[in-house]
């Protein structure tokens, strides 16, 4: 297969700017390797609400379902965040998309770049050599459980629910990844308090039988939040439920020194979506200062997923070349920096 249908959802804030660099670079890869990437654009998020009233229009969902992969920018807008009464929210679009496409595993690789290691708030000796892969369950748990607010009575609730079938697939995936790596898997949970965590622990223990070469251990989420900073090198592969994964993986992003570098892949049985970890960063919108690298490395994960291994390799090399040669945005070097599109073009040209 040499021709691919890519759904492109630029989303909100700096989303459109960074995604634009990804498509530019995919075109360069297409030329270099003789692939065709056909882009179909869809509305999502605040942008989609403003134009259609719906954070995930039916048309966008169709485009995604018919594509080989989805490239996504970012979502979120302050006009909704500060309004607790808004009934329709950008985030609902992303959550619904994840659910509809069955993207049960959010995968976030975390490494340090030699030339950027001193940008981290953490000391060099603490982080140097860190190499973690986080698997966050993405379509269940409290973000998807029943929610309810009774304005009159003045209460609200959110239900966190898991069943075995929602836990097992991502646990298998994480064990398999651990087998290819340092053979260590850590489940992060709060099994001393929560029933859902105890179910996770149980399912993990059972599945561990099938992967006797992988060492499985358990860590409470409060302790994990500490250990990730005290000694990140102790981790190899991490697997966890949706909300803990949200918190822990954003926290872990500080290790590399810039959230502007971190990609993620959200994988399901039939679909996959690739997005930077950073949010919509509305303050930077339209200024040309956003770092496109997270989106570009998410694109490299997409190439892995499409089994275009050489192209993925080439793309990662090009990104490293740009970073090593300080062809970077202002977040990485305030003394001499380039715009979002200059960095993207530099990488595209190098390819």
Ligand X SMILES: CC(C)[C@H](C(=O)O)[C@@H](O)C(=O)O
Q: Of 318, 320, 325, which is closest to residue 350 (Cα–Cα)?
A: 318
Q: Do residues 294 and 276 touch, judged by C-beta distance below 8 A? A: yes
Shortest Cβ 274–ligand X spacing (Å): 12
Q: Do residues 259 and 291 touch, judged by C-beta distance below 8 A? A: no
Which listed option, a second copy, ligand X, none, makes contact with residue 163 (CB within 5 to 8 Å by class)? a second copy
DSSP 56: S
Residue 304 is a catalytic residue? no
Q: Is 108 annotated as a binding residue?
A: yes
Residue 130 or residue 318: which is nearer to a second copy going by CB?
130
345: Cβ–Cβ under 8 A, 6 or more apart, which residues?
A: 24
Q: Is 89 annotated as a binding residue?
A: no
Residue 44 or residue 330: which is nearer to ligand X going by CB?
44
Residue 58 or residue 85: which is nearer to a second copy going by CB?
85
Point out the catalytic residue in the list 195, 217, 222, 349.
Answer: 222
Separation of alpha carbons 239 and 226, rounded Å: 17
Return phi, psi of residue 199, to 5°: -65, -45
How are strands ordered across the β-sheet holding 215-220? 36-41, 3-11, 69-74, 272-276, 263-267, 105-111, 131-137, 237-240, 184-189, 215-220
Q: Of 300, 340, 306, 335, which is closest to residue 320 (Cα–Cα)?
A: 300
Binding residues for ligand X, per CB under 6 A? 75-76, 91, 94-95, 192-193, 222, 246
Q: Is 201 annotated as a binding residue?
A: no
Residue 217 is a catalytic residue? no
Q: To the nearest 10°, report the CA torsion of 31, 265, 98, 283.
A: -80
Identify the three-state secondary structure at position 85: coil
Residue 35 is a catalytic residue? no
Residue 349 is a catalytic residue? no
Residue 41 is a catalytic residue? no
Binding residues for a second copy, per CB under 8 A? 76, 80-82, 84, 89-91, 95, 121-123, 126, 142-143, 145, 147-149, 153-165, 190-196, 198-199, 201-202, 205, 218, 220-223, 225-226, 229-231, 243, 246-251, 253-254, 259, 279
Shortest Cβ 226–a second copy spacing (Å): 5
Q: Is 222 annotated as a binding residue?
A: yes
Q: Which residues are annotated as a binding site for Mg(2+)?
A: 222, 246, 250
Q: Which residues are annotated as a binding site for substrate?
A: 98, 108, 136, 222
Q: Which residues are annotated as a binding site?
A: 98, 108, 136, 222, 246, 250
Catalytic residues: 143, 190, 222, 246, 250
């Amino acid at each position: 297969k040499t021709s691919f249908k890519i759904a492109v959802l630029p989303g909100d804030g700096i989303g459109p700017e960074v995604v634009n660099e990804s498509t530019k670079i995919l075109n360069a890869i297409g030329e270099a390797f003789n692939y065709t990437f056909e882009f179909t654009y869809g509305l999502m998020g605040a942008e989609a609400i403003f134009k259609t009233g719906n954070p995930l229009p039916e048309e966008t969902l169709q485009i995604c379902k018919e594509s080989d992969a989805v490239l996504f920018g970012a979502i979120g807008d302050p006009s909704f965040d500060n309004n607790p009464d808004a009934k329709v929210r950008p985030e609902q679009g992303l959550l619904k998309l994840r659910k509809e496409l069955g993207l049960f595993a959010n995968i976030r690789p975390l490494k340090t770049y030699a030339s950027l290691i001193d940008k981290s708030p953490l000391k060099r000796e603490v982080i140097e050599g860190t190499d973690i892969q986080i698997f966050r369950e993405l379509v269940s748990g409290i973000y998807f459980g029943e929610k309810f607010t009774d304005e009159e009575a003045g209460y609200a609730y959110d239900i966190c629910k898991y069943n075995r079938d929602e836990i097992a697939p991502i646990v298998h995936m994480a064990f398999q990844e651990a087998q290819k790596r340092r053979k260590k898997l850590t489940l992060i949970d709060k099994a001393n308090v929560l029933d859902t965590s105890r179910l996770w622990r149980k399912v993990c223990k059972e599945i561990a039988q099938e992967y006797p070469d992988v060492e499985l251990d358990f860590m409470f989420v409060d302790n994990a939040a500490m250990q990730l900073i005290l000694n990140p090198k102790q981790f190899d592969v991490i697997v966890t439920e949706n909300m803990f994964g949200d918190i822990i993986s954003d926290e872990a992003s500080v290790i590399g020194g810039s959230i502007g570098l971190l990609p993620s892949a959200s994988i399901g049985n039939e679909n996959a979506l690739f997005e930077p970890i950073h949010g919509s960063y509305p303050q930077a919108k339209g200024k040309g200062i956003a770092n496109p690298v997270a989106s570009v490395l998410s694109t490299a994960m997409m190439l892995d997923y499409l089994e275009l291994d050489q192209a993925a390799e080439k793309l990662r090399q090009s990104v490293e070349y740009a970073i090593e040669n300080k062809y970077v945005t202002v977040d990485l070097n305030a003394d001499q920096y380039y715009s979002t599109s200059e960095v993207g073009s530099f990488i595209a040209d190098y390819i």
